[in-house]
Amino acid sequence: MEYQQGTLAGYEVREYLLAKWGRTCAYCGRTGVPLNIDHIHPRSRGGSDRVSNLVLACIPCNQSKNATPIEEFLKAKPALLAKILRQAKAPLRDAAAVNATRWALWRALTATSLPVTTSSGGRTKWNRSRTSAAKSHTLDALHVGRLDAVTGWPSIVLVAKATGRGTYCRTRTDKYGFPRLQLPRIKTVRGFQTGDLVRANVPTGTKAGVHTGRVAIRTTGSFNITTRHGTVQGIGHRHVRLLQRADGYGYATHSETRVRVAFPPPPEGGGIHSGGP
Ligand SMILES: [Zn+2]
């Protein structure tokens, strides 16, 4: 009921319909155009507001269908009519899977006796529309749940990416599955391990410059460094300094989209909270 009538009215249903109908007009299949919510059985003829009676339609289709019963509107396209009626009744399969999973997760979390609150993707989007924040993973995280105000966000975010700690397999195979080369048994060369975060300061030569990133070791002592700009090959170990030991993650910084935020004035005792502890 809250979704249908509360402050989020329209947001949840719209997001659901966009996913269910693949962001295309149900009647003509056009995509990338503004889409209206259309009642399969017109409201004026007693059609309900339930999501099973809603599709997305481009503005021309929405207007030309108007209050026409769908059977009449699609009289010339019986296959399409059948498809729409079938799909309208079908629940969103992914949503059904998420539904089942999230309640299991919720039950497990509440069993810890820590305070647990829940929210929805529709509310996240609604919050973002109030602060006019761009869509990104980090800004989505900031906009989850009940939100009084956002006073700003960092321009740089830290991105941690799981890279693993290498492989036990000591051979590489060719396309027929035969061993192609032998990898060394040792994991360290000159004190470095593949995956270490390093900075190389190369004074001269074609590789001259400062290179910061993940190192890939070679027994020759000539290393490769993957920086944010690409991979630099053949860096002598003498130029390389360790910044951080490999821990199975790669770290990088990305710039966050900077959008001015002036909404709304923080309420008394305001600030950011996203529910939960
Ligand atoms: Zn259309």
Place 266 in a pLDDT band, splitting at 50, 70 and 90.
very low
Q: 32: CA distance to ligand 1 center in Å?
A: 11
Give distance in angstroms: CA of 61 to centre of ligand 1. 4
Fold of 2-90: DNA Binding (I), subunit A (1.10.30)
Inter-axis angle of helices 11-20 and 121-131, nearest 10? 120
Collect contacts of 2-6 with beta carbons under 8 A, ≥24 apart. 3/120, 3/122, 4/49
> How many angstroms does the Cα of residue 121 sit away from the middle of ligand 1?
27
- Mean pLDDT on 4-10: 59
> Ligand 1 centre from 163 Cα, in Å?
45
Cα separation, 184 vs 174, whole angstroms: 18
Using the mean position of ligand 1's atoms as its centre, give its distance from the Cα of residue 62 in Å: 7
- Separation of CA 167 and ligand 1 centre (Å): 52
Distance 82 CA to ligand 1 centre (A): 17
pLDDT digits (tens, 9 = 90+) for 204-258: 999 999 999 999 999 899 999 998 888 999 999 999 999 999 888 888 778 876 4
pLDDT for residue 242:
95
Residues 6+ apart with CB under 8 A from 233: 224
Q: How far apart are CA 273 and CA 144, in angstroms?
A: 9
Q: Which residues crowd ion ligand 1, with CB under 5 Å?
A: 25, 27-28, 30, 58, 61
| Res 265: pLDDT | 39
Calculate how far, in angstroms, residue 22's C-alpha sits from the geometric centre of ligand 1. Answer: 13
Q: Which residue has the higher pLDDT, 43 or 184?
A: 43
Q: Are 275 and 146 in contact (CB under 8 A)?
A: yes
Q: What's the CA dihedral at 45, 47, 49, 51 to 10 degrees? A: -150
Instruction: Give pLDDT tens digits for 118-171.
Output: 888 889 989 998 888 888 888 888 999 888 888 888 888 888 888 888 777 888
In CATH terms, 162-252 corresponds, of 1.20.58, 2.30.30, 2.60.120, 2.40.128, to: 2.30.30
103/80 Cα distance (integer angstroms): 35
Q: Rounded distance, CA 164 to CA 172, Å? A: 17
Element (H, E) at 251: strand 249-255
pLDDT digits (tens, 9 = 90+) for 12-50: 778 788 888 888 999 999 998 999 999 999 989 988 888
Task: Indicate if the pLDDT at residue 100 is higher than 80.
Answer: no
Q: How far is the CA of 68 from the centre of ligand 1 (A)?
A: 15
How far away, in angstroms, is 29 Cα from ligand 1 center?
6
The model's confidence at residue 103, banded by pLDDT at 50, 70 and 90, is confident
For residue 46, report the distance from its CA to the centre of ligand 1, in Å: 23
- Same fold? 2-90, 162-252: no
For residue 47, the CA-to-ligand 1 centroid distance in Å is 20
Q: Are 259 and 134 in contact (CB under 8 A)?
A: yes
pLDDT score of 93: 66
Domain boundaries, the chain: 2-90, 107-155+256-277, 162-252
